[in-house]
């Protein structure tokens, strides 16, 4: 029977080309799986531990000095008064000194501002800048003696409007103001990307004896231009 023999030969050849069976390790395991981590119950009670210290250990801010206490009601509220009040204000802000680095740089900048040209401009304004910038890290690291504080020196904004506009008017009586003294402590300004310190001055009206400083809006209104129009905000 040649037909049967030919069919059997074809079946034999086809069976020889079948792929081999997968090894036992790759075969699917039909045994039931065991869940090691139990499923989370959305109805279970959640225990929230109280945060002790509010993260003060990780963000103490020791490099900029102690934080001020109380509400901010303006500069030099207590340390610049000519006469002591009968009772201190309950909500006045207690100004604390900054770090030693900030105090030393503030004193150095005030010393440099004492030297002014014939037009009354400090050297910083004569160069066309309001900011005192630290040295770039490249020049700091190439110095003979490098300390960690050399890489953490902040920027300083010097705000002395009378050097730019001589006829500053008193917001109380309208008479001309005169420079009284530099602010005893700088103010720290925190921006979105960086921070800097502000060096300011106090002014005195010889007519009404009313000391003031250039931050309140009434004094800014007496200027012919606003600093914000030129990209600066004291």
Domain boundaries, the chain: 95-230
Q: Report residue 171's pLDDT band, with 50, 70 and 90 as the boundaries.
A: confident
Greater model confidence, 232 or 101: 101
By CB atoms closer than 10 A (0-12, 13-18, 19+), residue 148 is: exposed
pLDDT given for residue 131 in this prediction:
92
> Mean pLDDT, to the nearest integer, of 154-165?
88
Q: Report residue 59's pLDDT band, with 50, 70 and 90 as the boundaries.
A: very low
Helices vs strands, H then E, count in the chain: 5, 5
Joined together, the tokens standing for residue 167 give: 């006829």
**pTM tops 0.85:** no
pLDDT given for residue 41 in this prediction:
77
**What share of the chain has pLDDT > 90, as a percent?**
7
Residues pairing with 199 in the sheet = 158
* Average per-residue pLDDT for the chain: 71
> Mean pLDDT, to the nearest integer, of 21-50?
67
pLDDT given for residue 144 in this prediction:
78
Greater model confidence, 217 or 176: 176
> Mean pLDDT, to the nearest integer, of 178-207?
87
């Amino acid at each position: 029977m040649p037909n049967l023999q030919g069919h059997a030969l074809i079946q034999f050849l086809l069976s020889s080309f079948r792929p081999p069976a997968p090894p036992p390790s790759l075969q699917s395991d039909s045994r039931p799986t065991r869940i090691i981590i139990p499923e989370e119950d959305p109805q279970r009670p959640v225990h929230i531990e109280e945060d002790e210290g509010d993260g003060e250990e990780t963000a103490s801010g020791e490099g900029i000095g102690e934080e001020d206490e109380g509400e901010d009601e303006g500069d030099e509220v207590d340390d610049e008064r000519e006469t002591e009040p009968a009772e201190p204000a309950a909500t006045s802000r207690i100004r604390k000194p900054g770090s030693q680095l900030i105090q030393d740089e503030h004193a150095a900048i005030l010393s440099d501002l004492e030297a002014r040209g014939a037009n009354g401009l400090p050297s910083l304004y004569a160069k066309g800048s309001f900011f005192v910038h630290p040295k770039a890290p490249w020049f700091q690291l190439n110095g003979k003696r490098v300390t960690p504080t050399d890489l953490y020196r902040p920027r300083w904004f010097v705000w002395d409007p009378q050097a730019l506009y001589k006829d500053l008017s008193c917001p109380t009586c309208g008479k001309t103001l005169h420079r009284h003294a530099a602010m005893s402590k700088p103010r720290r300004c925190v921006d979105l990307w960086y921070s800097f310190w502000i060096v300011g001055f106090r002014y005195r009206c010889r007519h009404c004896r009313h000391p003031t400083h250039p931050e309140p809006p009434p004094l800014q209104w007496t200027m012919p231009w606003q600093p914000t129009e030129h990209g600066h905000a004291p």
